[in-house]
Amino acid sequence: MSTAQGGAGNSLFARLKSGLNFSFGQAGGCVGLSIGASSIKVAEVKKIKDSWALTKYASVSLPELSTDSREIINTVTIVRAIQTAMQNAKISSKEVCSAIVGSGIIVKNLSLVIENMKDLQDQVFWEAEQYIPFDISEVVIDYQVMGKGKDNQVEVILIAVKKAFLEQYMGVIEEAKLVPKIMDAELFALQNTFECNYAVSKTESMLLADIGAMSTKIVICSGGNPLLVKDAAFGGTMITQEIQRELNLPSLNDAEALKVSGNLPHEVSEIVARLGHVLGTELKKSIDFYTASSLGPPIAGILLSGGGSRAAHLSRIIEEYTQLPTQLMNPFQKVTSESKDFTEQYLSSIAAEVVIPLGLAIRAGDKT
């Protein structure tokens, strides 16, 4: 598999799956299912030579509190929303590639000094115990070596997933009568969509940030490799809650409607801009760490996605914090679409939110 076509984290979850007797189905349609905090999104893709085409897509909003810290607390609502999304998109394939997000998954860059590579696994597991806030027996751990430097330095990406979360996510997918063929990390789906649409360079890197409702997925990648990854626990909901509180509105839904209306009173646009300041500070921290640790080539720019990236003036605020050119990711730069229902206007209306489900669908396609 070529790295330019979504090779991120390719084998990363192999052990994770085998450790749980994960059963692979037959090759089927390439469907990505994103169980987001605010909506369920499904995308189907088709491979055309070396590129991809989006053939089907739908999203279904979730009511408040279907998940809490990403633990699924309202299974029935999520199962129904998955089924509705599959019906609305007219997807008949049953096999999906989905992912775990938020606090159920820990993805961490480790920089280790290893005298003898035979000791790598022991050291990774030892380090993992320092970082993982749960009992080690409750998690499945996997890792991938990203590079080797001077003085026996080895760069590793560690992934730990809480078994209970994995079972919960796979459980709702199965209850929706689907087969969770691959469970990935949304961080890698983000990178997949980027690599299928933009030239992949080894001499410079790119910072990707997908701003969801509850979490922001951050990846700095170069040459097909994720060099720094982070799942930060903030997103658009934080702003919606602040709007509700400060304007004393009766419900979160009122605050959400006001926020996305595009016609914002001055006091609301100030609150919305706070997301930019939180994100700007977070990205600056990641960039400084990346640069100080010499993790890879210089960062050429930032691409934003996720529903939160629609917030007014966000790119400008991020540019001010990071001094890097910042744009919205265009998931249809190379990926085409194959449906008469997908007008240009429709594609641009889904561009921010389609990035993760599209990356998951491509991952499913790469495996078939």
Ligand X SMILES: Nc1ncnc2c1ncn2[C@@H]1O[C@H](COP(=O)(O)OP(=O)(O)OP(=O)(O)O)[C@@H](O)[C@H]1O
- Residues 290/228, Cβ–Cβ less than 8 Å: yes
The answer to whether residue 256 forms part of the interface with ligand X (CB under 6 A) is yes
Backbone angles phi, psi at 63, to 5 degrees: -70, 170
Instruction: Decide if residue 296 touches Mg ion (CB under 5 A).
Output: no
The region of 144-152, 163-171, 207-215, 339-347 touching ligand X under the rule CB under 6 A is: 207-215
In the chain, which ranges are E strands? 30-35, 39-48, 51-61, 67-68, 71-72, 95-100, 105-113, 139-148, 153-162, 179-185, 205-211, 216-222, 225-232, 299-305, 326-328, 336-337
Residues of this chain, 139-158, that bind ligand X according to CB under 6 A: none
231 is a contact residue toward ligand X (CB under 6 A): no
Given a contact cutoff of 8 angstroms between Cβ atoms, the answer to whether 226 and 8 are in contact is yes
> Could you please report the per-residue DSSP string of 73-103?
S-HHHHHHHHHHHHHHHT----EEEEEE-GG
CA dihedral sign of residues 165, 167, 170, 171: negative
Site for Mg ion in 28-67 (CB under 5 A): 36
Pick the stretch among 115-123, 153-161, 229-237, 284-292 that binds ligand X (CB under 6 A): 229-237
Which SS3 state, helix, strand or coil, does residue 142 take? Answer: strand
Binding residue count for ligand X, defined by CB under 6 A: 22
The stretch near ligand X (CB under 6 A) out of 82-90, 121-129, 171-179, 303-311 is 303-311
**271 sits near ligand X (criterion: CB under 6 A):** no
Binding mask 308-347 for ligand X (x = CB under 6 A): x-xx------------------------------------
Give the residue from 145, 190, 187, 196 showing the smallest Cα distance to 4: 196
| 93 close to 29: Cβ distance less than 8 angstroms | yes
Q: Are strands 39-48 and 51-61 parallel, antiparallel or unpaired?
A: antiparallel
Closest residue to Mg ion using C-beta atoms: 212
Rule CB under 5 A: say whether 104 interacts with Mg ion.
no
Which of 104, 212, 331, 359 binds Mg ion (CB under 5 A)? It is 212
β-pairing, 95-100 with 71-72? unpaired
Our CB check for Mg ion shows the closer of 29 and 36 to be 36
The answer to whether the beta carbons of residues 184 and 363 sit under 8 Å apart is: yes
**Does 353 sit near ligand X (CB under 6 A)?**
yes
Binding mask 28-67 for ligand X (x = CB under 6 A): --------xxxx----------------------------
- Could you tell which of Mg ion, ligand X, none binds residue 326, using a CB distance below 5 to 8 A set by kind? none
| Residue 109 interacts with, from Mg ion, ligand X, none (CB under 5-8 Å by kind) | none
Residue 235 interacting partner from Mg ion, ligand X, none (CB closer than 5 to 8 Å by kind): ligand X
Rounded CA-CA distance 286/220 in Å is 9
Residue with smaller CB distance to ligand X, 39 or 322: 39
- Count how many Cα atoms sit within 13 Å of the Cα of residue 175 in the half-sphere of its side chain: 15
Distances (CA, A) of 333 to 197, 202, 262, 348: 5, 20, 25, 11
With respect to ligand X, which residue has the nearer C-beta, 38 or 55?
38
Residues that bind ligand X (CB under 6 A): 36-39, 101, 212-215, 235-237, 240, 256, 259-260, 306-308, 310-311, 353
Residues that bind Mg ion (CB under 5 A): 36, 212
